[in-house]
């Protein structure tokens, strides 16, 4: 069928528009003040309109319309206005284009991304919460419409969950965001898009710790995340690989917190992680003993080659004579077998029956360290560290441990980078300073840690942007709940 000159010209205009409308993702900076990464948007595919396009949508397209030429014109013109940031004019034309031909030419989808851009603009300008909620609902509808027209549900649920988690979480139930993240992972398994990982691991941890989901569900998705973390970096391309490097600084640390939950991970998890850790430093008996305890805590059979190997080293080269029979002996036996709750109960029994204040303080701190390193329960670790400090004056070690607890809380209190994760360093440094002020023996380690964590404090610009000032008091939220002083990282 011949195409008149006007229609040919219009199609050429649209083709050029499509060609130059590739959408590139924004990767976030690798500095401590890193912003939230944008979810990746797939590049627009160029479809020559001179040939009959392959139709990939059940939704209405230009070819279905008697005035398809006019709607093609609206597609071109709204984009021109959007580039000029004339949002009101762009929105008028976009509505005509979107609602008349949501399937565009049968393949192009960029108008959905542009719709999110427009709705987000009007959301940011809304004067009331009711108006904001309406724009948020419109964004949600747009994602659902795109799935209806073009499928790709797993990818789009991941993007939708990402956007709502970071930008609109106050306008929708957390359960909805969690549900969308699960759909993304259920659909793509180990090939799940990288931008899903960090926010989902945080929401998974939060929902498990507040009792919203049970251990079976949390364990299932934690193991799915481990598969994603294994597959993603090995199969990434170009700039995605930089994103995986940053993800691997955060997600594995938060997933390791689940080790404190009995029977959360299977034996294979502990063998994979801690046998490798042992191999990295096989001459260090502290490392050997820790690796062996962790593997035993995963209920790994003693006949496994890795368990046999470590047990042999622990009982020979790294052997430590046990205490005399009694609660202390039972505590160490349970501890070395990876039975940490049983070990804590026996240490408590020893503490309650001992008349030696130094011994009571020593083993109270041991309990704190078990809660920190093995059970990953930071509030309980702090409670026992403070109890140990109360039993022995002028002792800096308990406060050093509390400082480490705070410094390790970035993934728990924020996304691993950025403001919420950085401010925990203020509280950590406070404890290191106090520890060395009362106990000179810990000063070398304290000074080293102070220098290290000073680098990870917020920048002067981040502090100023929040209308705060260096030297002002500030209360650290999350589980820490302590007052501190605002400080900036040195330049």
Q: Does one domain contain both 21 and 123?
A: yes
pLDDT at position 67 is: 86
Task: Out of 103, 124, 151, pick the residue that ends a domain.
Answer: 151
pLDDT at position 122 is: 96
Instruction: Annotate 428-445 with DSSP letters as a single string.
Output: HHHHHHHHHHH-GGGHHH
Q: Does one domain contain both 352 and 480?
A: no
pLDDT in tens, 367-387: 999 999 888 899 999 999 999
Number of domains in the chain: 3
| SS3 at position 474 | strand
Q: Tell me the C-alpha distance between 480 and 405, whole Å.
A: 9
Contacts of 269 (CB under 8 A, 6+ apart): 223, 226, 298
Q: Does one domain contain both 413 and 491?
A: yes
Residues of the chain with pLDDT under 50: 1-38, 43-52
Angle (nearest 5°) at CA 450 between 448 and 455: 105
Q: Tell me the C-alpha distance between 379 and 372, whole Å.
A: 9
pLDDT at position 55 is: 66
Q: Does one domain contain both 92 and 15?
A: yes
Task: Out of 151, 183, 198, pick the residue that ends a domain.
Answer: 151
Contacts of 229 (CB under 8 A, 6+ apart): 197, 247, 248, 251, 252, 255
Name all contacts of 39-44 with Cβ < 8 Å and 24+ positions apart: 39/158, 39/159, 39/162, 39/163, 39/193, 39/195, 40/159, 40/193, 40/194, 40/195, 40/240, 41/113, 41/159, 42/155, 44/18, 44/108, 44/109, 44/110
Torsion region of 89: left, alpha or beta (phi above 0 gives left; psi -120 to 50 gives alpha)? alpha
Residues 183, 154 contacting (CB under 8 angstroms): yes
In terms of C-beta density within 10 A (0-12 exposed, 13-18 middle, 19 or more buried), how is residue 333 classed?
Answer: middle
Q: Tell me the C-alpha distance between 382 and 131, whole Å.
A: 44
Residue 233 in any domain: the answer is no
Task: Out of 132, 151, 170, pick the residue that ends a domain.
Answer: 151
Residue 373 in any domain: the answer is yes
pLDDT in tens, 257-300: 999 898 999 999 999 999 999 999 999 999 999 999 999 999 99
Q: How many residues does the chain have?
A: 491
For residue 144 the two structure tokens come to 């659902």
Q: Does one domain contain both 437 and 359?
A: no
Q: Does one domain contain both 374 and 400?
A: no
Q: Tell me the C-alpha distance between 107 and 130, whole Å.
A: 35
Q: What is the CB neighbour count within 10 angstroms for residue 412?
A: 23
Q: Does one domain contain both 336 and 444?
A: no
Q: Tell me the C-alpha distance between 75 and 94, whole Å.
A: 7
Q: Does one domain contain both 352 and 478?
A: no
pLDDT in tens, 290-340: 999 999 999 999 999 999 999 999 999 998 888 888 999 999 999 988 999
Contacts of 16 (CB under 8 A, 6+ apart): none
Residue 258 in any domain: the answer is no
Residue 247 in any domain: the answer is no
Q: Does one domain contain both 101 and 44?
A: yes
pLDDT at position 40 is: 52
For residue 188 the two structure tokens come to 């793509």
For residue 413 the two structure tokens come to 């209190």
Residue 427 in any domain: the answer is yes
pLDDT at position 156 is: 96
Domain that holds residue 478: 394-491
Q: Does one domain contain both 339 and 464?
A: no
Residue 472 in any domain: the answer is yes
Q: Does one domain contain both 441 and 368?
A: no
pLDDT in tens, 75-87: 999 999 999 999 9
Q: Does one domain contain both 102 and 65?
A: yes
Q: Tell me the C-alpha distance between 99 and 60, whole Å.
A: 9
Q: Tell me the C-alpha distance between 254 and 204, whole Å.
A: 10
pLDDT at position 53 is: 53
Residue 269 in any domain: the answer is no
The residue ranges of DSSP E strands in 43-201, in sequence order, are none
Residue 88 in any domain: the answer is yes
């Amino acid at each position: 069928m011949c195409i008149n000159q006007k229609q040919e010209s219009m199609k050429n205009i649209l083709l050029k528009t499509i060609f130059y409308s590739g959408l590139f993702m924004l990767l976030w900076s690798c500095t401590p003040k890193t912003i939230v990464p944008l979810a990746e948007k797939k590049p627009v595919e160029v479809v020559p309109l001179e040939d009959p396009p392959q139709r990939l949508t059940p939704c209405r397209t230009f070819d279905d319309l008697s005035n398809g030429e006019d709607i093609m014109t609206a597609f071109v013109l709204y984009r021109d206005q959007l580039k000029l940031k004339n949002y009101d004019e762009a929105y008028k034309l976009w509505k005509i284009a979107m609602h008349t031909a949501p399937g565009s030419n049968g393949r192009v989808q960029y108008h959905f991304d542009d719709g999110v851009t427009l709705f987000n603009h009007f959301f940011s300008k809304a004067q009331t919460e009711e108006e904001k909620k309406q724009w948020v609902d419109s964004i949600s509808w747009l994602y659902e419409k795109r799935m209806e027209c073009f499928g790709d549900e797993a990818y789009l649920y991941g993007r939708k969950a990402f956007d709502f988690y970071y930008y609109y979480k106050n306008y929708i139930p957390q359960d909805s965001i969690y549900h969308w993240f699960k759909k993304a992972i259920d659909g793509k398994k180990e090939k799940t898009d990288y931008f899903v990982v960090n926010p989902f691991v945080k929401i998974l941890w939060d929902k498990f710790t507040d009792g919203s989901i049970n251990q079976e569900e949390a364990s299932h998705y934690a193991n799915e995340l481990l598969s994603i973390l294994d597959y993603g970096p090995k199969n990434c391309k170009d700039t995605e690989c930089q994103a995986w490097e940053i993800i691997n600084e955060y997600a594995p640390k938060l997933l390791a917190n689940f080790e404190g939950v009995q029977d959360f991970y299977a034996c294979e998890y502990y063998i994979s992680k801690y046998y490798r850790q042992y191999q990295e430093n096989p001459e260090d008996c502290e490392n050997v003993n820790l690796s062996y305890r962790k593997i035993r805590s995963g209920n790994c059979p003693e006949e496994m080659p890795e368990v046999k190997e470590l047990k042999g080293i622990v009982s020979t080269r790294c052997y430590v004579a046990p205490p005399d029979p009694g609660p202390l002996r039972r505590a160490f036996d349970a501890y070395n077998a990876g039975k940490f709750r049983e070990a804590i109960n026996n240490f408590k029994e020893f503490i309650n029956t001992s008349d030696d204040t130094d011994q009571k303080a020593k083993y109270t701190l041991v309990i704190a360290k078990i809660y920190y390193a093995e059970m990953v329960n930071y509030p309980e670790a702090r409670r026992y560290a403070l109890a140990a400090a109360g039993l022995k004056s002028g002792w800096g070690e308990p406060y050093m441990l509390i400082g480490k607890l705070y410094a390790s809380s970035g993934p728990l209190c924020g996304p691993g980078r950025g403001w919420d994760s950085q401010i925990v360093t203020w509280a950590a440094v406070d404890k290191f300073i106090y520890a060395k002020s009362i106990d000179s023996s810990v000063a070398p380690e304290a000074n080293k840690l102070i220098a290290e964590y000073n680098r990870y404090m917020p920048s002067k610009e981040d502090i100023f942007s929040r209308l705060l000032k260096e030297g002002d008091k500030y209360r650290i939220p999350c589980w820490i709940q302590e007052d501190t002083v605002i400080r900036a990282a040195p330049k």
